[in-house]
Amino acid sequence: MLECLRKLNLPEYVQDILNQSQGVVIPKSRNELLTLAMGGDENVTFDVDYEVEGKGRVLEATATRCKNGIVVNYMEDYMRRRDPNSMLIADKNPTDKPRYEDVYHKDFEILRMDTFDWLKNQELIFFPFKSGGLEYGYDSVLVAPANAGFFAAGLADLQGFLNIDEITYDFKPRAVVFLAPPFRHTHFNGKQVVVHNRLQGIHEVYAYNLYPGPSAKKGIYGVLLDIGEEEGWVTAHASAVKVITPYDNEIVIMHEGASGGGKSEMLEDIHKEMDGRVVLGKNTVTGEKYFLNLSETCDLIPVTDDMALCHPKMQQGSKKLVVKDAESSWFLRVDNIKRYGASPQYERIFIQPEEPLIFLNLQGVPEATCLPWEHTMDSTGKPCPNPRVILPRKLVPNSIDEPVEVDVRSFGVRTPACTKANPSYGIMGIMHILPPALAWLWRLVAPRGYNNPSIIDSQGMTSEGVGSYWPFATGKMVTQANLLLDQILQSTNTRYVLIPNQHIGAYEVSFMPEWISREYIARRGSAKFKPEHLVEARCPLLGFGLDSLKIDGQYIRRAFLRPETQQEVGIEGYDAGAEILTEFFRQELVKYNTDDLNPLGKQIIEMFMKGATVQDYLEIMPMRY
């Protein structure tokens, strides 16, 4: 085999696949990967198809070369977003996830050998990368069919791609990704399936579909969470941003939450109307809009977009949580860009990038410019709700690539409208301040919330699971719950807030609560909240609301701070919504209350079950105002 592979210390079975394959391409630059994505320099379109037993030649996706990058489109609506139930576990290690053998009643080793045999009959792409980034990441490799160049290029962008010729240290693979797209048809009835096999010293990821969400991105997230379980740390599902006020105060906010909870939006400038005004909210009953005039807003310096590495090597005695981006690129959803000018800072990068980008679920015309507001149409005749751009962070101006201390951890929830006539959990004010114990409970329950655009299953209120990263984790829920509690206990100087999006009571608000709260928190400078400015929420799960909120000389209407004061909601609608929320927490928290849970965590959950007040949560874990 190629001499350069010797220094990678590959497992013998991986080496055997490469040796017996129909050829191996080892790209050594991003340009080579983009060429592979198009099947060669001369192509302006490229079909990604496979011979499938019983089906003949199946076209999975097309790649189109545009002026600003490569545009990938899948043939099926289903393949254009992540299936949240795609993960299966093949090994015998502890897990709360479905096991392959329990679902399919077969030994995974048979499928594993079939996968290896199929790969041996293909020309392959192979390259090393770092799961979790170049500085703190873990040695990993990809083995994929050569015609899946766009998938390989996307993974290389998302993770820390390595030029094999430049590796001078003792490379030891901690993870390996195998890509075999036809198997979704032959073995999984067309479904997205990613099988994790946690062997001694190496984590195998078997990607049986071409959408990178559950494998190249979330599959690697699973690798990091697995390693974190072993070593005692977490990769948070979060964006982070340094906010600089017009008065040069600086603060770092980390925003967590389920898919669609506003992580990418935390990095966006506040959206304004053409006349410069800000629409705070629109009453869904009366249609009336409420506006703000913000003459000057904060500057935003991005830190992370979706995955925040909380590695203990970075903590160094700090009493705040310390984070760093776990990705080399961001997997940005651009469904919010529906017209020119909707997101100027990103549109400029997307349309005239310094390097070609990879676009998914967007319309691509050969040798024309791919426009981020021209989303691929689903078979329903509606735009795909999950258009994506893989954006290398090096192309994001002023982004921070160093560890930062987090001043405030916010948690985002997609909420439906709430009225007396139709009560719901949309009872949150524009921002709530949470005692640490409540902040932990929210991270256990992690509501997926209303109208989620990123995934297939988006109806009603469901839980994304512990940390909001549970769909990507391979181990035990209670283990992650303990790690999150330890993290909060060790970060005593980091504060916690809860921020809704989409609706506040009867008002449609989009992500405005997030942007207004960001401006408000940053302008306070110290991120401290004076007790006299806080009001206990009627629903104890919401901690404290704000008595008043003044920004840029303007007071936010009380209706946006305390939804029960809205005529359309009232006490009746609020309390009915509070019961819906409380009952949901009650159902979700039962699963954590086991003997394996940290005794303090067990005490917090038992307090909630007995109807704890906000003060009760403060007494068990004090809040730094």
Does the global pTM surpass 0.75? yes
Please tell me whether residue 321 adopts helix, strand or coil conformation: coil
With respect to residue 208, please indicate whether it lies within any of the assigned structural domains.
yes
pLDDT value, residue 2: 63
With respect to residue 512, please indicate whether it lies within any of the assigned structural domains.
yes
Distance, in Å, from the CA atom of 241 to the CA atom of 400, rounded to the nearest integer, reads 9
β-bridge pairing 234-244 and 357-360: unpaired
Distance, in Å, from the CA atom of 326 to the CA atom of 34, rounded to the nearest integer, reads 23
Give the bridge partners for 235, in sequence order.
309
With respect to residue 361, please indicate whether it lies within any of the assigned structural domains.
no
β-bridge pairing 234-244 and 250-257: antiparallel
Tell me the pLDDT tens digit for each residue of 348-379. Answer: 999 999 999 999 999 999 999 999 999 999 99
- Range list of H helices, 139-205: 149-158, 183-186
Position 201 confidence tier, pLDDT thresholds 50, 70, 90: very high
Distance, in Å, from the CA atom of 568 to the CA atom of 301, rounded to the nearest integer, reads 39
Position 336 confidence tier, pLDDT thresholds 50, 70, 90: confident
Say which DSSP state 180 is in: -
Whether residues 571 and 505 share a domain: the answer is yes
Whether residues 226 and 273 share a domain: the answer is no
Kindly report the CATH number assigned to the domain that includes residue 445.
3.90.228.20
Whether residues 609 and 489 share a domain: the answer is yes
Whether residues 226 and 239 share a domain: the answer is no
* Ramachandran region, residue 189 (left: φ > 0; alpha: ψ -120 to 50; beta: rest): left
Average pLDDT over residues 442-454: 78
Give the bridge partners for 360, in sequence order.
72, 388
Domain boundary among 231, 266, 301: 231
Distance, in Å, from the CA atom of 151 to the CA atom of 55, rounded to the nearest integer, reads 23
Distance, in Å, from the CA atom of 243 to the CA atom of 47, rounded to the nearest integer, reads 44
Whether residues 123 and 221 share a domain: the answer is yes
With respect to residue 297, please indicate whether it lies within any of the assigned structural domains.
yes
pLDDT value, residue 342: 83
β-bridge pairing 278-283 and 234-244: unpaired
Whether residues 158 and 291 share a domain: the answer is no
Tell me the pLDDT tens digit for each residue of 546-597. Answer: 999 999 889 999 999 999 999 999 999 999 999 999 999 999 999 999 999 9
Domain count, the chain: 2
- Domain residue limits at 201: 3-33+84-231
* Ramachandran region, residue 238 (left: φ > 0; alpha: ψ -120 to 50; beta: rest): beta
Distance, in Å, from the CA atom of 186 to the CA atom of 118, rounded to the nearest integer, reads 12
Instruction: Retrieve residue 126's tokens.
Output: 């192979």
Instruction: Retrieve residue 406's tokens.
Output: 């987090």
Say which DSSP state 201 is in: T
Whether residues 410 and 291 share a domain: the answer is yes
pLDDT value, residue 271: 87
Q: Which of 68, 252, 223, 39 is nearest to 138 (CA)?
A: 223
With respect to residue 357, please indicate whether it lies within any of the assigned structural domains.
no
Q: Which of 241, 253, 252, 239 is nearest to 497 (CA)?
A: 253
Distance, in Å, from the CA atom of 612 to the CA atom of 608, rounded to the nearest integer, reads 5
Q: Which of 31-40, 60-69, 154-163, 453-462 has the lowest mean pLDDT?
A: 453-462
Distance, in Å, from the CA atom of 509 to the CA atom of 219, rounded to the nearest integer, reads 33
Cα-Cα-Cα-Cα dihedral of 87, 90, 92, 97, to 10°?
A: 10
Please tell me whether residue 154 adopts helix, strand or coil conformation: helix
Average pLDDT over residues 395-405: 94
Q: Which of 158-162, 522-526, 612-616 has the lowest mean pLDDT?
A: 522-526
Please tell me whether residue 504 adopts helix, strand or coil conformation: strand
Question: How many residues are given for the chain?
Answer: 625
Average pLDDT over residues 463-487: 95
With respect to residue 21, please indicate whether it lies within any of the assigned structural domains.
yes
456 pLDDT higher than 70: no
Distance, in Å, from the CA atom of 168 to the CA atom of 512, rounded to the nearest integer, reads 48
326 pLDDT higher than 50: yes
**Is the torsion defined by CA of 568, 571, 573, 577 positive or negative?**
positive
For residue 126, CA distances in Å to 26, 105, 164 come to 5, 32, 10
Domain boundary among 189, 213, 231: 231
Tell me the pLDDT tens digit for each residue of 519-540. Answer: 999 988 655 777 888 999 999 9
With respect to residue 392, please indicate whether it lies within any of the assigned structural domains.
no
**Is the torsion defined by CA of 567, 571, 574, 580 positive or negative?**
negative
Whether residues 508 and 420 share a domain: the answer is yes
Whether residues 557 and 596 share a domain: the answer is yes
Tell me the pLDDT tens digit for each residue of 2-58. Answer: 677 889 999 999 999 999 999 999 999 999 999 999 999 999 999 999 999 999 999
Domain boundary among 175, 202, 231: 231
Give the H or E element holding residue 283.
strand 278-283
Tell me the pLDDT tens digit for each residue of 239-259. Answer: 999 999 988 889 999 999 987
pLDDT value, residue 625: 63
Q: Which of 186-190, 305-309, 378-382, 450-454 has the lowest mean pLDDT?
A: 450-454
Report the 10 Å Cβ neighbour count for 451: 13
Position 452 confidence tier, pLDDT thresholds 50, 70, 90: low
Query: How does the average pLDDT of the chain come out, rounded?
Result: 94
pLDDT value, residue 532: 81
Whether residues 239 and 219 share a domain: the answer is no
Say which DSSP state 216 is in: I
Please tell me whether residue 6 adopts helix, strand or coil conformation: helix
Tell me the pLDDT tens digit for each residue of 91-116. Answer: 999 999 999 999 999 999 999 999 99
pLDDT value, residue 624: 77
Q: Which of 501, 596, 500 is nearest to 541 (CA)?
A: 500
Kindly report the CATH number assigned to the domain that includes residue 91.
3.40.449.10
pLDDT value, residue 457: 46
With respect to residue 68, please indicate whether it lies within any of the assigned structural domains.
no
448 pLDDT higher than 90: no
Distance, in Å, from the CA atom of 326 to the CA atom of 303, rounded to the nearest integer, reads 10
Give the H or E element holding residue 108.
helix 108-120
Whether residues 143 and 247 share a domain: the answer is no
CB contact at 8 A, 182 and 147 = no
pLDDT value, residue 526: 59
DSSP 508-560: EEETHHHHHHHHHHHHHSS----GGGEEE-SSGGG-EEES--EETTEEPPHHH
Tell me the pLDDT tens digit for each residue of 263-316. Answer: 989 998 898 888 889 999 999 999 999 999 988 899 999 999 999 999 998 988
Whether residues 154 and 243 share a domain: the answer is no
